[in-house]
Amino acid sequence: MQKNFLVPKEQLDIQDEYAKKVKTILSARYPDRKPKAYIHTYGCQGNVSDSERLKGLIVKMGYELVNTPKYADFVLYNTCAVREHAEDRVFGNVGTLKKYKTERRDMIIALCGCMMQQRHVAEKIKNSYPFVSLVFGTHVSHRLPEFVNRVLCTNKRVFDFTDSDGIIAEGLPVVRGDNENAFLPIMYGCDNFCSYCIVPYVRGRERSRNPRDIILEAINIIDGGAKLITLLGQNVNSYGKGTDTDFSDLLRLIDGLSGDFEFDFMTSHPKDCSKKLIDTLSQSSHYCRRLHLPVQSGSDRILKLMNRGYTRDEYLTLIDYAKNKIPDVSLTTDIIVGFPSETYEDFRKTLSLIEEVKYDSMFTFIYSPRKGTKAFYMDDHVSKEEKSKWFQELLAVQEKYKIRR
């Protein structure tokens, strides 16, 4: 049986009380106007979805959401740690907030999300960014009202990087960015530990939401006018592990809902993408007929080092099965170039796989070493120049195959 990851209701009730306290403090502090909050999200759809719940809490505390940090009283950056470039952007953008804080001492600058769950990053913020008042990790987001209350009451900096196996906070308010194109998280965390990837370290263990909670939220989203519902999880194919509902079962439940909507999902992990799932998709009337199946590499040697859990042949067999069962399926993928010890020979295998599958589109990345992951400690002999050359070659192939229909 799956462990119970639910945050107890009493703890969420306490947060409601903190939200009320914050509201009272803010109305005394800004008697003539509504306090303003700005939230910026980096990274994946999972983070965007988290921010929709953070926005729900922000509004509950009495803030009005605005589109620029310039005049905001509360600024929150929800960060991503997946590649170095993502982290550099966050550090750069946080740096530019300093001048606002100098002009307006009462502004609260807060950072949360995956980057902040890494101890070395949090320490850097603590020591080198004194104008940041609040930093919290991915396991305690539902406690935002408590943290804001503490900053307002004590005027001290607040840091909370509590680690846990992972939690699920149900019943949080949600402010959706787009009602027609809605995100619906079905699970959190990841247990796959692909050797290059930081996500399992910053997001905790894989855990699935109860199907009932998901269906209730789906109905709500459809009633709110959604035309597309995207189900979210790092590996949706392993949804429901330890329960009696798997991902195919969940999709059948969603497909059974009435309304004029389509559903999509991301991300599918090839190693857990079963024939049962493809069969289910082929029979679904609401399925959007897009399948994102990240392959990462076409070389068996690299796939093994990446700990992806499938071979090139197994992946291609899966693709054939999907193309046969769902002839109009649109396939997309993710590719990493320049994994440690990758040779040009390995890279050519990725190119040949792409030519074989003929994806409709691809998300391509140059490997970025992430501290704490297995790959970080692997010998990486390929030069930056070489990797960029291969990357350009990949982009040329991508151009050739893009949008075939």
* Residues contributing to the site for ligand SAH (CB under 6 A): 82-83, 196-197, 199, 234-235, 267, 269, 294, 296, 334, 336, 365, 367-368, 370
Give yes or no for a contact between 276 and 321, defined as CB atoms under 8 angstroms apart.
no
Report, in Å, the least distance between residue 233 CB and ligand F3S. 10
Beta pairing class for 158-160 and 181-185: unpaired
Tell me which of ligand SAH, ligand F3S, ligand SF4, none is bound by residue 200, counting a contact when its beta carbon lies within the kind-specific cut-off of 5 to 8 angstroms.
Answer: ligand SF4
Least distance CB 304 / ligand SF4 (angstroms)? 14
185 binds ligand F3S (CB under 6 A): no
Cβ pair 329, 291 in contact under 8 A = yes
Given the complex with ligand SF4, which of 62 and 189 has the nearer CB atom? 189
Q: Which is nearer to ligand SAH, 38 or 265 (CB)?
A: 265
- Interacting residues with ligand SF4 between 242 and 301 (CB under 6 A): 269
Residue 168 forms beta bridges with which residues? 6
Confirm or reject binding of residue 44 to ligand F3S (CB under 6 A).
yes
Q: What is the pattern of x (binds ligand F3S, CB under 6 A) and - over residues 113-152?
A: -x--------------------------------------
Contacts of 333 (CB under 8 A, 6+ apart): 292, 293, 294, 295, 354, 357, 359, 362, 363
Q: Whole-angstrom Cα distance, residue 50 to residue 112?
A: 11
CA atoms 110, 113, 118, 121: torsion sign: negative
Q: Tell me the closest approach of the beta carbon of residue 324 to ligand SF4, in angstroms.
A: 26
Q: Should residue 190 be labelled a site residue for ligand SF4 when binding is judged by CB under 6 A?
A: yes
Binding residue for ligand F3S, selected from 53, 176, 203, 292, defined by CB under 6 A: 203
What are φ and ψ of residue 168, in 5° steps? -130, 120
Torsion of CA 278, 279, 283, 288, to 10 degrees: 0
Does position 90 bind ligand F3S by CB under 6 A? no
